[in-house]
Structure 1
Amino acid sequence: MSLADRLAAARREQAEEAVPQDPTDLPGADATSPAAAATALGAASGAPRPAAPAVAEQPTSAPVPPVPGIYTGSSSAARAAASDEAPLTRRVPTRHDERLEQIKSTVHTQLLQQLGPQLYDADMSGDELDQRVRTVLADVLSTQDKPLSASDRQQVTVEITDDILGYGPIEPYLRDEDVSEVMVNGHDNIWLERKGKLVAADAHFTDEAHLRRVIDKIVSRIGRRVDESSPMVDARLPDGSRVNAVVPPLAVDGSALTIRKFAADPLTALNLISFGSLTPQSCDFIEAAVRGRLNIIVSGGTGAGKTTTLNVLSSFIPGDERIVTIEDAAELQLKQDHVVRLESRPANIEGKGAVTIRDLVKNSLRMRPDRIIVGEVRDASALDMLQAMNTGHDGSICTLHSNGPRDTLSRMETMVLMAGMDLPMRAIREQVASAVDLIVHQARLKDGSRRITHITEVERMEGDVITLQDIFVYDNSLGHDADGNSLGRLRPTGLRPKFLEKMAHANVTVDPLMFAADRI
């Protein structure tokens, strides 16, 4: 080997060790020219170009186009990659990755051909199907003519198993307890909410068709569909996690999938206290209010944790009462023995057969319920919910989107008007004041934490206005720590609620010192 060849080989080895991707994948690089490769690498990393070597070089070929999937242009991801303070969050695909993708596609196809209908056999348990898939997968991989290392074999096995038995590239994040929400904005753009903060995920779907297959798998399991004629759908996973999907033509940049996870073990009142969402005395008060059969509305913005709080409140209901839950997608995880769960149904492909929350609330009144729990009131069902609260079904609980306790009542009035009844505003407000006893309002703060900010009593009508009285209010005066976390807490206002007598009729009493303003 000549000196020129040895120099070229040395430069090539140094370039491959310094950068994970093949130098020939970079624009303007040439497979036969080590000097051109080194120049391209220096340009990509911002380093000065090295001097040209003294040895003769072969003629360069045409430039190789950029690797598909690299973020370019004026997007935020590209701007972040160009900044020293915002490192690239997505790894550039290499030739090794492309080879694994080809092997995975081939193995996936062969696996589906061998398993066939067994994947949809209702008589086969999940464990049996998992074992069957892994056995066939090992056989198929052993027949591949392209050798695989142990780590590559494990990676291909995990990805194909997740794709067939789970939900593809997002399956690891659904198993991650630190991830509370998974947001897919197109097949190659996945984001996560981890500990209250948004972060980009180092994963992507193969293409739009791959993402659509995962969406169809999720919604078909609960008898729903999503297509061009019905491009939006609300669904749930078997564990109760909430799913929303929007597909083209409504989703302009590709299908959008949002999954709000539920913890494997539902959060308890002790968890909310440890998180700072509640204090021990406010928790004791809410528990007494539930056992005392007060009608409660849990309000808050999107993602504030209303359903979690509703779960906690429902856990305080005595086990000897009949509970009927009504939801768009069944999410509540009640531990009582006597629970009837109802779920609304959208219209079929012909636009018929829809069963709304309002229909279910009406029907629940004929089911001899002790408690009616509505996952979310968002339409004319508010009127029927008020009627239920005012006709002997004390202790009912529901959630509602709003910005504060006062806005909660305003939204309730607006939704009652959606029922089409020509009712005067004063009559509606009298119904609300008579039906609702307590509003538990919560919010998601800037630091990502979810806190209960108001526990407010609904008192009575004064003129045409419903009077409210705050029992506990979140105190923001303590500010934030060095990391930006809120130091505030829920404090009593010193005012005693008027409904203590109503609670006493249900044989529930509370310690008056609970409401002392100086109590910490």
Structure 2
Amino acid sequence: MRVGEDEERELMATVRDLLAQSREMESGDEEVTPFPLQDQSGEEEEWEEVTPEDRERPEPLSAPAPGRADIRSLIDSVIRSRSTRPWSTSGDNPVRALLKRIEKKDVEESGGEDGISSQMVEDDSADPDHNGLPDFPRGWTEETDASVPEDPGLVSPAHDHHTSPDLPVLEVEEEPETDEALSAGVVSVDELGHLADLILPKGAMFEVEELHIKRNGRQFDFVDNARVVSEFDELFTKAFSPAALAAAAVTATVSAEEVPEPRFGFLSKLQLPKVAEVIEEYNPIIHGPLVDLSMRPSPELEEIELYPVNEPYAYVRVTYDSATHEYTYNVLEPLLTPGEQELFGEIKERLFETLNVATRDLTRDEARKALRDAANIIIADYGIRLEPCGREKILYHAEKEFLGDGLIDPVMHDAYIEDISCDGVGSTIFVYHMTYESMKTSLAYRDATELDSFVTKLAQRAGKYISIAEPMLDATMNDGSRIQMTLGSEVTAHGSTFTIRKFREEPITPTDLIEWHTFSPLGIAFLWLAVENAKSCIFAGGTASGKTTTLNAISLFIPPLAKIVTLEDTRELKLPHPNWIPSITRDSFSQDGRGEIDMYELLRAALRQRPEYILVGEVRGREALTLFQAMSTGHVTYATMHADSVASAVHRLENPPIDVPRNMLSALSLMSIQVQARVGGQRIRRNKQLIEILDIDPRTNELITNEVFRWHPATDEIRYSGKSYILEEIMEGRGWSEERMQEELKRRQEVLEWMRIKKIRHFRDVSKILVSYFRDPESVIQRVRSDLYGEGAP
């Protein structure tokens, strides 16, 4: 706020007197002795209140004229103090700021009149807004209000004997804030040692924010503005009034203090300084392993196998207990020390509060980098230095929590695991291992809230909703795995549960079926011909017998450019064909069922898309009738259903809720029966029967079938019966002789065996070879026989 016009005129007069006295002293005509800040007794001066009447009746100081150096500094102060702030008793008093400067520092003599004039600015008296006064220094602002408020609470000394050795530019170093200041917002002058020398009455209080003084980094231009306005020549002869002295003070500009980010937990109480450090990347060769694999299991347990699932972070140790004859699946991960665990809890809480990244829009590596950068910023914010091993362990657990699957994340990385089952709170998590079958693990959810939160998170990631009102849900995880879950103890007594059927990123191929002896090479060659020649088939079997796996593998035999439509409740099928439409059902968004799209609706829509092949994940309802109608109209169809024999499959198809008339079953060409059995102490999957559906007996109304292949458990062999009506239909359709058919079966067996020997098992590689054989069989068989039998093979 600007001073009033009277104060401005008095200010100009004061500056003129100061300049005159300075010139007289430089000429040696007068010698002035500075006066002390305190009286001769050394006692502090008393203070009294200044009334508005006193302010209007200024009195000159009854003190000797100040020294030459003092005058130069006073002039500088006068020029700088064109704008002032309202005076108050809270520490914003410009008089006090001036007295602070008087007491704190000395100014070196700048040398003669040039030194004085160098503090001045160029005269802009032609501008009416300047009123003959110099410009404001750069970085200073002029407030619009030109009046000084009447403040009866202004505190000033009882008498005006003030002399200063100098008046330097006010530069007050910021001191660290005390806890009392932060909590209360005010602090007593007597409580702060670095403020005790300010001339204030005892007990006066300062607002903490007022103690932050902004430095004026920009000073006058000593070159362009190095001359003194002539109007100031006579200012040295006049004494100072209280108003003029107040106008000479430098306004203390308060800098807005940055509000610190919220801190959490015990680390927030420490208020550790931020430490800028270069993060050293973890290197297992240099810094050592994160997981201690040297610790052996207890003596009564035998270690069967130790292998990595997410190296170098997670390993699995399979042990065998000879007393109980049980295998145990032990997960080994980096262990956090108590201090690291506390820090991880703080970081996790901060990440929940601040992390705002849509991981769906990022790749796995991009999301991982974003999370690591955010965690490193939080660690640096706490000012904690971590060794590379400790930092990497914390970052791993953060990735597992935010990007992975939490407690079961290592299990989800294990390619040998097929199923994961959690039966409730406090119950051990079980897995189904491809080698060791069902095993209990070393993992369990001990807290109901944690388990409920994980189940809810799984549902949200799958784009579904689960609640106490609707506590059961079937969904597909981001990696394609199927999951069935329940929430709370309303429908499951032990709390929330989940069962995950893991999805292989690389689908099973015909090569895998041969390698695992699920089918014989001749059986796969037979299916190859059947699929290529548009023969429909249903794969039936019990739970986990390999129905969907076989369907996905056999679908690779579909011609490369054929139009395919797949219908599923949850996504399981994965095909390499470019002309493929994957369709899935959708639940209703309302209680009345509106908006629901079931398998029947999908099938009706698929038939309008003119597909050549229709693949149905599982037949279980009214869609089966439409499916068999599609078969009757020439659409090649492949599907799965639950049945352990041909007879049970027929009974299911003919009875509610499917209700397919028996005369429509003849549209089906093949039925494959899958079983899960135990041979030699191991659980295996086999193609029990491969049966042709020929016709319906008009006299008995029974299905006429032909068994082409059968599995014999005693020898674990799949044998060919020697008779196939489908092969005869293919021979007739293509005009092949029996010898030509036998040759074609042999060729296809050789291609399959060659891929098995060469370990060509990835579905895209297998698909490439099958497409090549479809387009140029002679070139492929020549290469295959050359590798199998050597050069010159027929």
With structure 2 as the length reference, what TM-score do the two structures score?
A: 0.48
Q: Residue 436 of structure 1 aligns to which amino acid in structure 2?
A: L
Relative to 1, partners in 2 of residues 1:85 and 1:297: Cα closer, same or farther, differing over 3 Å? closer
Give the alignment partner of residue 444 of structure 1, picking from 676, 680, 691: 676
Relative to 1, partners in 2 of residues 1:332 and 1:85: Cα closer, same or farther, differing over 3 Å? closer
Distance of 1:449 and 1:296 partners within structure 2: 23
Relative to 1, partners in 2 of residues 1:508 and 1:299: Cα closer, same or farther, differing over 3 Å? farther
**By how many angstroms is 1:87 displaced?**
8.9
Is 2:576 aligned against 1:339? no
**By how many angstroms is 1:497 displaced?**
2.1
Residue 497 of structure 1 is matched in structure 2 by 724
Residue 474 of structure 1 is matched in structure 2 by 711
Residue 431 of structure 2 is matched in structure 1 by 192
Contact 1:439 1:455 in 2 (8 A): yes
Relative to 1, partners in 2 of residues 1:499 and 1:135: Cα closer, same or farther, differing over 3 Å? same
Deviations 1:221-249 (A, max 9, x none): 44321112222211112332211112231
Distance of 1:101 and 1:254 partners within structure 2: 27
Distance of 1:151 and 1:200 partners within structure 2: 30
Distance of 2:328 and 2:431 partners within structure 1: 16
Relative to 1, partners in 2 of residues 1:245 and 1:290: Cα closer, same or farther, differing over 3 Å? same
- SS across alignment from 2:349: helix
Residue 328 of structure 1 is matched in structure 2 by 569
Give the alignment partner of residue 202 of structure 1, picking from 407, 430, 442: 442
- SS across alignment from 1:140: helix
Distance of 1:174 and 1:89 partners within structure 2: 13
Is 2:694 aligned against 1:459? yes
Q: Residue 208 of structure 1 aligns to which amino acid in structure 2?
A: A
Deviations 1:100-140 (A, max 9, x none): 6554433211221221x22x365444322210111222343
Distance of 1:400 and 1:379 partners within structure 2: 11
Residue 218 of structure 1 is matched in structure 2 by 458
- SS across alignment from 1:473: strand
Give the alignment partner of residue 254 of structure 1, picking from 468, 471, 495: 495
**By how many angstroms is 1:436 displaced?**
0.9
**By how many angstroms is 1:212 displaced?**
3.1
Relative to 1, partners in 2 of residues 1:317 and 1:132: Cα closer, same or farther, differing over 3 Å? same
Distance of 1:229 and 1:152 partners within structure 2: 43
User: Structure 1 vs Structure 2: percent identity of aligned residues?
Assistant: 25
Distance of 1:89 and 1:223 partners within structure 2: 31
Residue 507 of structure 1 is matched in structure 2 by 734
Residue 649 of structure 2 is matched in structure 1 by 408
**By how many angstroms is 1:83 displaced?**
5.8
The 5-angstrom pairing of residues 19-418 of structure 1 reads 102-115=342-355, 117-118=356-357, 120=358, 123-141=361-379, 153-188=391-426, 189-195=428-434, 197-205=437-445, 207-248=447-488, 249-352=490-593, 353-393=595-635, 395-414=636-655, 417-418=656-657
- SS across alignment from 1:262: coil
Contact 1:293 1:506 in 2 (8 A): no
Relative to 1, partners in 2 of residues 1:469 and 1:287: Cα closer, same or farther, differing over 3 Å? same
Q: Residue 440 of structure 2 aligns to which amino acid in structure 1?
A: A
Residue 69 of structure 2 is matched in structure 1 by none
Contact 1:441 1:454 in 2 (8 A): yes
Distance of 1:257 and 1:99 partners within structure 2: 33
Distance of 2:371 and 2:364 partners within structure 1: 11
- SS across alignment from 1:202: strand
Q: Residue 183 of structure 1 aligns to which amino acid in structure 2?
A: S
Gaps of 5+ in 2: 1-294, 301-319, 747-794
Deviations 1:468-500 (A, max 9, x none): 22110011122xxxxxxxxx0211123x12233
**By how many angstroms is 1:336 displaced?**
0.7
Residue 663 of structure 2 is matched in structure 1 by 430
Relative to 1, partners in 2 of residues 1:500 and 1:369: Cα closer, same or farther, differing over 3 Å? same
Count of residue pairs the alignment pairs up? 417
Contact 2:538 2:672 in 1 (8 A): yes
Q: Residue 596 of structure 2 aligns to which amino acid in structure 1?
A: A
Contact 2:532 2:557 in 1 (8 A): yes
Contact 2:620 2:657 in 1 (8 A): no
Distance of 1:316 and 1:200 partners within structure 2: 39
Distance of 1:355 and 1:287 partners within structure 2: 33
- SS across alignment from 1:203: strand
Residue 33 of structure 1 is matched in structure 2 by none
**By how many angstroms is 1:505 displaced?**
6.0
Q: Residue 439 of structure 2 aligns to which amino acid in structure 1?
A: V
Gaps of 5+ in 1: 1-19, 21-44, 47-79, 422-426, 479-487, 516-520
Relative to 1, partners in 2 of residues 1:441 and 1:101: Cα closer, same or farther, differing over 3 Å? farther
Distance of 1:97 and 1:507 partners within structure 2: 72
- SS across alignment from 2:572: coil
Contact 2:328 2:439 in 1 (8 A): no
Deviations 1:411-432 (A, max 9, x none): 1212xx325x7xxxxx811111
Q: Residue 433 of structure 2 aligns to which amino acid in structure 1?
A: R
Q: Residue 180 of structure 1 aligns to which amino acid in structure 2?
A: E
Deviations 1:363-405 (A, max 9, x none): 1111111111101111121111111111121x21000111122
Contact 1:323 1:371 in 2 (8 A): yes
Q: Residue 135 of structure 1 aligns to which amino acid in structure 2?
A: D
